[in-house]
């Protein structure tokens, strides 16, 4: 598989969680920066800072069954740019169990550019059984509003921070692919659409808004997203 194109002055920030100390999951988002470039030491310190903001703003919406165990940051400017991480334990602060082990709140984001494939999104393992609406398939209105406030406060705490070798600028989306090639499996004869990496740099779009979805989503298969 060819290497993904660079995304200059963009950081990939990945969360990794454990459930009961065994099952793991994660997701990621992207933030642009100005100045820099940050060093590995800068990104280690930034990861610790982000963990503190996660605890202050998002952990209050996460079940105490979940534990944040790592935050990993990669500078996507080049394949030799710095990486950093925080590892430890930061438990959810909401007393109670999630509806299912893979339930999550889906945050949908919007950008000004339209593209095939939908919209940027991320999944956070937030919510407990008492946060459900009466239909048992949606989060309550009050909980959705709490998640909106928690994410907004978290993102606001990051934007403009200039303490770690660069200035965090904006929550962004990174597009690595443009179009696809259809490839037939010679054994099954089935066709697959293989995305085509962009030539040159990735396309970076500023996210204009992010909204939690009322319907319960699932964290299933999100483990791989921490490494992509």
Residue 74's DSSP bridge partners are 12, 83
Q: Which pLDDT belongs to residue 228?
A: 32
Q: Tens place of pLDDT for every residue, the chain, 228 residues?
A: 567 889 999 999 999 999 887 778 899 999 999 998 999 999 999 999 999 999 999 999 999 999 999 999 999 999 999 999 999 999 999 999 999 988 999 999 999 887 665 679 999 999 999 999 998 899 999 999 999 999 999 999 999 999 999 999 999 999 887 777 888 888 888 888 877 778 888 899 999 999 999 999 987 654 433 333
Are residues 6 and 202 in contact, defined by beta-carbon separation less than 8 angstroms? yes
Q: What is the pLDDT of residues 161-190, one digit of tens each?
A: 999 999 999 999 998 877 778 888 888 888
Domain boundaries, the chain: 10-226
Q: Which two tokens stand for residue 208?
A: 């204009």
Q: Which long-range contacts (CB under 8 A, 24 or more apart) does 130-139 make?
A: 130/96, 132/99, 132/216, 133/214, 136/99, 137/215, 137/216, 138/214, 138/215, 138/216, 139/105, 139/212, 139/214, 139/215, 139/216
Please report the pLDDT score of residue 189 as a whole number: 82
What's the pTM? Answer: 0.88
The predicted structure's pLDDT at residue 23 = 77
What DSSP letter does each residue of 50-64 carry, written as one string?
HHHHHHHHTGGGSBT
| Angle at alpha carbon of residue 15, lines to 9 and 16, rounded to 5° | 140
Q: How many CB atoms lie within 10 A of CB 52?
A: 12
From residue 131, alpha-carbon distances to 62, 183, 219 in Å are: 11, 45, 17
Task: Return the H-helix or E-strand segment holding 131.
Answer: none
Residue 124 confidence (pLDDT): 95
Closest C-alpha to 63, from 12, 105, 5: 105
């Amino acid at each position: 598989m060819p290497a993904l194109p660079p995304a200059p002055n963009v950081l990939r920030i990945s969360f990794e969680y454990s459930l009961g100390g065994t099952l793991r999951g994660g997701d990621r988002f992207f933030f642009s920066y100005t100045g820099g470039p940050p060093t590995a030491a800068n990104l280690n310190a930034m990861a610790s800072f982000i963990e503190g903001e996660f605890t202050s703003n998002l952990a209050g919406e996460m079940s105490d069954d979940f534990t944040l165990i790592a935050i990993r940051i990669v500078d996507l400017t080049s394949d030799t740019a710095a990486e950093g991480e925080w590892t430890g334990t930061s438990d959810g602060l909401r007393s109670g169990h999630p509806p299912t082990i893979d339930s999550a709140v889906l945050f949908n984001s919007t950008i000004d550019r339209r593209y095939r494939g939908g919209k940027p999104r991320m999944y956070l393992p937030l919510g407990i059984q008492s946060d459900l609406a009466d239909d048992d398939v949606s989060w309550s209105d009050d909980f959705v509003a709490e998640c909106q406030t928690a994410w907004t406060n978290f993102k606001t705490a990051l934007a403009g921070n200039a303490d770690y070798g660069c200035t965090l600028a904006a929550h962004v989306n990174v597009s690595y692919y443009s179009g696809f090639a259809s490839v037939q499996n010679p054994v099954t004869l089935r066709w697959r659409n293989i995305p085509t990496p962009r030539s040159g740099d990735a396309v970076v779009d500023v996210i204009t808004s992010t909204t939690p979805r009322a319907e319960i989503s699932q964290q299933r298969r999100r483990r791989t997203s921490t490494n992509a």
